[in-house]
Structure 1
Amino acid sequence: MMFSLPTRALLTAFFILLLAGVARAQAPLSEAELDTFYNQLNAYRTARYQQLPDLEAIQLPSTFSGADLKALHLKDRHIVRIDLVYTAFKLNPGFNQRQLNLSRIRNLAAEVPGLLQDEAVMWTLVEQTGCNSPAECQPFFHGFVVYVARHYTAATMRADLDSLTRKLRRLAKKHPIARKKAPGKKVACNLPGTRFNNRQMALALRRNYHCPQRGAQQVAFQLAVAADGTTQSVQVLPPGQPLCTEELAAAIRKSVVFSSGFPIDRKQFPFIAKGVVRLPIGPFQLLGPPDVFFTNFALSDSVARLYRVFLKKKDRQHKHDYCEARITKAGELLAATDTATEAPPLPADANVVARVMQRHPEWPKEVVVTDVTGSMFPYTYDLLAWLQLSALENEKTFVFFNDGNDLPDKQKRVGKTGGLFHVKTDSYKLIESKLIEAMKAGGGGDPPENDAEALLYAQTLPPAPEATDLILIADNYTFPRDARLLKNTTAHVRIILCGVHDYINPKYLALARQHGFSIHTIEGDLMDLSKVLEGETITLQGQQYLVTKDGFKLVQKT
């Protein structure tokens, strides 16, 4: 094919402009832009960095190479979160950590085009404070920890769908309707024992905690304890007054020691122990309340599926607080199916949907909108298990979304991504069938989903427009690409966040604050975020967040 000279010139000019546009799209940020980007990063301090347990992590040392970057396999996976980890210790007082961090971020962005523009990636600065000399700091990690998740498609979802249907069939072997009034068979239950009594723990804590204390205060703490009684983690929940948080956490770990897991039915289970420390810790007194005591115990979600456990206060028959436990028919079935086949480990909050729904019987549950992409598989099963074991007395509307029916990521358009499936029924089987249909149609692809498109779609369905209360089941590790579509919404959205283990995604906090939504996790409910003022620092489930003009920043991890 031949072109005239003017036509050739026009085509040449067109391609030059096109290449220039591509170059601009991938051009590195200016110094001012990089500074703005850096100022909005989440940041916290910790004695020594610990990787998140529920995501695949790849370490890129500060001197990363091309081979290190190839290990990310970004053709098959996407980046969820990046932590830049370093130590607070400075050999030279004039050393500028900020400039080094900026240089490292710039170098990484140069090797991964578009990385800094990807709004789906959560960035966090992590300063380690647990070393005070070059020799002590040498074994501490310095560099990037990149968390990745695989791309899900309809093809990769087949194995998950097979697993899902097998588990549901096992659960359905006995009546799918919950027997809420059936008491179940009583089994043995005791509160976990400690090696020391409360006063001995207070004495030990007084020996181990030396932080100056100006005023009296009560400080809540939380321990994660393994089935053998070993303390796995300690969280201190500061009440707002000055406090040596890390020193107190270390002192609690030494002073509060359990001798076993939570004993139920002649087995030992992991648990959460919550308690209070009164500061300052006074001298030993024979009379009066102890300075260290427990307020509550909570079992892991998998155990909650098996047993109904009731914690009770001491009475005339019992000198101390005690517990009662029962196993229902549904629990016996789950116990049998859980041990029948080996399965990949579930996330710690795999039961979050059922727990939140049970926690709020007062909610109108007429419209439920849920993400059914690949990353949500454990929570999809939890939703169906809750429905299968619940009585559906009235018709409910469900909207399932898979982010585009495997539409290529480049073709996804805000508000027109598709992959929406709905059903209005009081039949569990019809709900299950529609959800599986949605999963078969697509796995999600890239991390951001079309949550807002699904919410607005739900409002066009009966009983809309009367139904202004929506329940959204969403993935904490991803954030909707289309959140701006909710600008004028008048709906009240209750967001059940799945995958909240280490932090609540600050972008969801900002969304809830902007629109008056509420957020619900396995641990509790976050209400009235719209009343929080810019510049305030708030503590949410053990983490501290600063409210900025642009949203929320994670600034302290306890």
Structure 2
Amino acid sequence: MLFVSFRAFLCGLLLLLFGTTHAQTTPPEPDLTAFYDQLNAYRTARYQPLPDLEALQLPSTFSGAELNALRLQDRHIVRIDLVYTAFKLNPTFNQRQLNLSRIRNLAAAVPGLLQDESVTWTLVEQTGCTSPSECQPFFHGFMVYVARHATAATSRADLDSLTRKLRLLEKKRPKASKKVQGKKVACNLPGSRFSNRQMARSLRRLYTCPQREAQLVKFQLTVDARGTIRTVKVLPTARPVCVPELEDAIRKSVAFASGFPIDRKMFAFTAKGAIRLPLGPLQLLGPPDMGFTSFALPDSAARLYRVFLKKKNKQHKNDYCEARITKKGELLAAADTAAEEPALPPDANVVSRVMQRHPEWSKEVVVTDVTGSMFPYTYDLLAWLQLSALEDEKTFVFFNDGNDQPDKDKRLGKTGGLYHVKTDSYEAIKNKLIETMKAGGGGDAPENDAEALLYAQHLAAAPDSAELILLADNYTFPRDARLLKNTTAHVRIILCGVRDYINPKYLALARKHGFSLHTIEGDIMDLSKLLEGETITIQGQQYQVTKDGFKLVQKT
């Protein structure tokens, strides 16, 4: 956090730098204020960039050269976080005015940025420092998340990867009589820097929320290959807990010495654990109040190694693991290639999970974005279809956002790239999806979802009351949502890529049209019953209904 006087000097300098050159693109003050007031906002101890998106850092004191180096005008921005710290030396310091100034400067330098409806903006206030020296290493500025631009080359790569994965899936028919295959390799559980009792002692000191009723609270951590904790999440509980305080206490009480060590390599991993509340006095005997229950590798590593977690026994004083290298792992090792396929997102199986949760969705038309950003989820859809035989014909609509036509030529409602098939054959569905992917990869990040939905509604047996399922990217909101103004269809939106919170624009879309939203964690229904000003908690996050839709007001 910078000193107030220095901040004021920097603001004045930035205004001089950008005020004359970009004055014609600076939004009017009332428009900027209205834009700011509807921004998502949450607090966190210290900001952690999202691990699954490409993040570009733009310091709060950015120069024209730094801005030009990022080439923001040529990139597909999907999200912008304005990050700052809560600490201030002067009680009269106005953080709101400084934030407005920073957004004004960025908007002046990147024309059309504030008007781009596909970009999600978030204010993130860091609370984990209480002095200038402590706050100095904290990030201050804009974290800009961008999506890749789909090209013919990336489309071919996605298609090749999809067909490879499907061939492996189709061949995978393990025989129960066979023994576990694969050469045994070295494996150790991720090493914790603290014992369970030390973690419980730290947690008892940091977590002071009153808790009278006994319950077991489960939590989940994602950890990178270096052992750095990326995310901490307290899972839904039977009784109320102070979630932000508990997650912060867990983050400060847990430390790993490394990633998950297998075959002399380090891998990212997921760790699950449990905490017994209320926290009692430390006992010398009996189990501690906090401990880990399981560890898991991401899918990209699990394809290379089969890992078996074992409980302690006479030969092993502690829990341990065994690992065997797969055929794919042997091939990669023989080829001496260190390059792995990109790690799958945490909710890569959201489509199959939601479909399994709703077997009553039998007659709906399925509408699927098959552009590059949705690759893991189109594979999940096909994997689910292959393993669950279709009893009746079902209609599928696949769309690629315009058959690779240039972005500048795309017209609202007439972008095209729509393909459909009505069948009960998995092969026919797979072939139509592949045909759609071959015809185009998308180009820019926002897609023509609404155009595809209206096309699907026309194909339904009863268009006025059509039941549609849309697979949509949580962070790339459709460019053509306004086309749904008069739709009478009921749409169930399966949100893919929900990393830290649900895009409020999808909440607003569902509330406006009576749609339902579905994530890997649960179903979000009846949003249209909410009144302006109401606050609702969805999967641990708090959202407020506004005049324009929804905004995030607290992230746990």
Is the shorter-chain TM-score for this pair beyond 0.5, marking a shared fold? yes
Residue 65 (1) aligns with residue 48 (2) = no
Q: Following superposition of structure 1 onto structure 2, how do residues 332-411 of structure 1 map, counting pairs within 5 Å?
A: 342-348=339-345, 349-364=347-362, 366-411=364-409
> 1:98-117 to 2 correspondence within 5 Å?
98-117=96-115
Which structure has the greater CA radius of gyration?
1
Call closer, same or farther: CA 1:526–1:309 in 2, change over 3 Å: farther
**CA–CA distance in structure 2, aligned partners of residues 390 and 180 of structure 1:** 17
For residues 83-132 of structure 1, the C-alpha deviation after alignment (integer angstroms, 9 at most, x for no partner) is: 11111111111111111111111111111111111111111111111221
Q: Who is 2:316 aligned against? A: none
CA 254–409 in structure 1, closer or farther in 2 if over 3 Å, else same: closer
Take 1:305 and 1:233, find their aligned partners in 2: how far apart are those partners?
A: 23
Deviation at 1:474, TM superposition (A): 0.9
In the alignment, which residue of structure 2 is the partner of 1:158? 153
**Residue deviations 1:434-469, cap 9 Å, x none?**
223322333323332211111121122154449733
Cα separation, partners in 2 of 1:170 and 1:110, compared to 1, 3 Å? closer
Q: Distance in 2 between matches of 1:165 and 1:277?
A: 47
1:450 aligned to 2:445?
no
Find out whether 1:172 has 2:167 as its counterpart: yes
Deviation at 1:536, TM superposition (A): 3.6
Alignment partners' CA distance in 1, 2:543 and 2:447:
25
Superposition pairs of residues 200-349 of structure 1, within 5 angstroms: 202-206=200-204, 208-209=205-206, 211=208, 213=210, 216=213, 221-225=219-223, 231-236=229-234, 245-253=243-251, 255=253, 270-273=269-272, 275-279=274-278, 281-283=279-281, 300-301=298-299, 342-348=339-345, 349=347
Equivalent AA in structure 2 for residue 541 of structure 1: Q
Aligned mates of 2:353, 2:332 — CA distance in 1? 19
Q: Is the 8 A contact 1:301 1:350 kept in 2?
A: no
Change (3 A) 1:447 1:358: same
The structure-2 alpha-carbon separation of the partners of 1:285 and 1:143, relative to structure 1 and needing over 3 Å to count, comes to closer
Separation in 1 of the partners of 2:80 and 2:300? Answer: 30
Percent identity of paired positions between Structure 1 and Structure 2: 72
Displacement after TM superposition at 1:524 (Å): 3.5
**Distance change >3 Å, CA 198–CA 517, structure 1 → 2:** farther
Aligned AA (1:270): F
Alignment of 1:499-518 (within 5 A): 499-518=497-516
Aligned pairs for 1:34-113 (under 5 A) are 34-74=32-72, 76-113=74-111
Distance 1:57 1:501 in 2: 14
Could you report, residue by residue, the CA deviation over 1:286-341 in whole angstroms, capped at 9, with x for unpaired residues?
99998657798877455788999999xxxxxxxxxx9999x9xxx97877788887
Match of 1:31 among 29, 32, 36: 29
1:111-164 Cα distance to aligned partner (Å, 9 max, x none): 111111111111111111122112222222222111122322xxx133432452
Which amino acid counterpart does residue 275 of structure 1 have in structure 2? A
1:68, distance to aligned residue in structure 2 (A) = 1.5
**If the length of structure 1 is used for normalisation, what is the TM-score?**
0.76
Could you give the per-residue CA deviations for residues 349-389 of structure 1, whole angstroms, max 9, x where no partner exists?
A: 33333333344444326521111223223333333344345
Which residue is equivalent to 1:436? 434
* 2:536 match: 538
Q: Per-residue CA shift, 1:235-260, capped at 9, x if unaligned?
A: 24697999765543343245567899
Contact 1:536 / 1:547 at 8 angstroms: preserved in 2?
yes
Q: Distance in 2 between matches of 1:543 and 1:76?
A: 33
Q: Is this contact kept in 2: 1:404–1:444, CA < 8 A? A: yes
What's the CA shift for 1:401?
1.2
Report what 1:144 is aligned to.
Answer: 142
Q: For the Cα contact (< 8 Å) 2:211–2:277, is it kept in 1?
A: no
Q: What amino acid maps onto 2:55 in structure 1? A: A
Of the candidates 390, 396, 411, which is equivalent to residue 413 of structure 1?
A: 411
Q: CA deviation at 1:271?
A: 2.8
The alignment partner of 1:487 has SS state of: helix
Q: 1:526 aligns with which of 524, 527, 535?
A: 524
What is the alpha-carbon distance in structure 2 between the residues aligned to residue 180 and residue 360 of structure 1?
A: 28
Using the alignment, how far apart are the partners of 1:217 and 1:414 within structure 2?
56
Greater displacement, 218-227 / 136-145: 218-227
CA drift at 1:495: 1.5
Secondary structure at 2:446 match in 1: coil
* 1:522 Cα offset (Å): 3.2
TM-score, length-scaled by structure 2: 0.77
After alignment, is 332-341 or 502-511 more displaced? Answer: 332-341
Match of 1:4 in 2: none
CA contact (8 A) 1:370 1:401 kept: yes
| Preserved contact between residue 164 and residue 381 of structure 1 (Cα < 8 Å) | no
Tell me the SS of whatever aligns to 2:352: helix
Give the conservation status (yes or no) of the 8 Å contact 2:199–2:254: yes
Q: Could you tell me which residue of structure 1 aligns to residue 475 of structure 2?
A: 477
Q: What is the one-letter code of the residue matched to 1:368?
A: V
Give the CA deviation at 1:343: 4.0
The CA deviation string for residues 504-547 of structure 1, in whole angstroms up to 9 with x for no partner, is: 11111222233333322333333343444543433333433223
CA contact (8 A) 1:278 1:292 kept: no
- Counterpart position of 1:10: none
Tell me which moved more, 255-264 or 85-94.
255-264
Any unmatched runs of 5+ in structure 1?
A: 1-24, 312-321
Q: Which moved more, 1:518-527 or 1:138-147?
A: 518-527
Which stretches in structure 2 are left out of the alignment for 5+ residues? 1-22, 310-318
The structural deviation recorded for 1:182 is 7.3
1:224-245 per-position Cα deviation (integer Å, ceiling 9, x unaligned):
3568987543224697999765
Residue range with higher mean Cα deviation, 345-354 or 36-45: 345-354
Question: SS of the residue aligned with 1:145?
Answer: strand
User: Within 1, Cα distance between the matches of 2:358 and 2:238?
Assistant: 29
User: C-alpha separation between the residues in 1 aligned to 2:452 and 2:306?
Assistant: 35
Report the secondary structure of 2:70's partner residue: coil
CA distance in 1, matches of 2:358, 2:320: 23
Q: Please give the root-mean-square deviation of Cα atoms over the aligned residues, in Å.
A: 4.5
Kindly provide the CA deviation profile for residues 403-433 of structure 1, in whole angstroms up to 9, marking residues without a partner as x: 2223443443332222211112233333233
- Counterpart CA distance in 2 for 1:395 and 1:184 is 37
Q: Distance in 1 between matches of 2:472 and 2:529?
A: 23
Q: Does the Cα contact within 8 Å between 1:369 and 1:473 map onto a contact in 2? A: yes
Q: Which amino acid in the other structure matches residue 374 of structure 2?
A: M
2:125 is the alignment partner of 1:127: yes
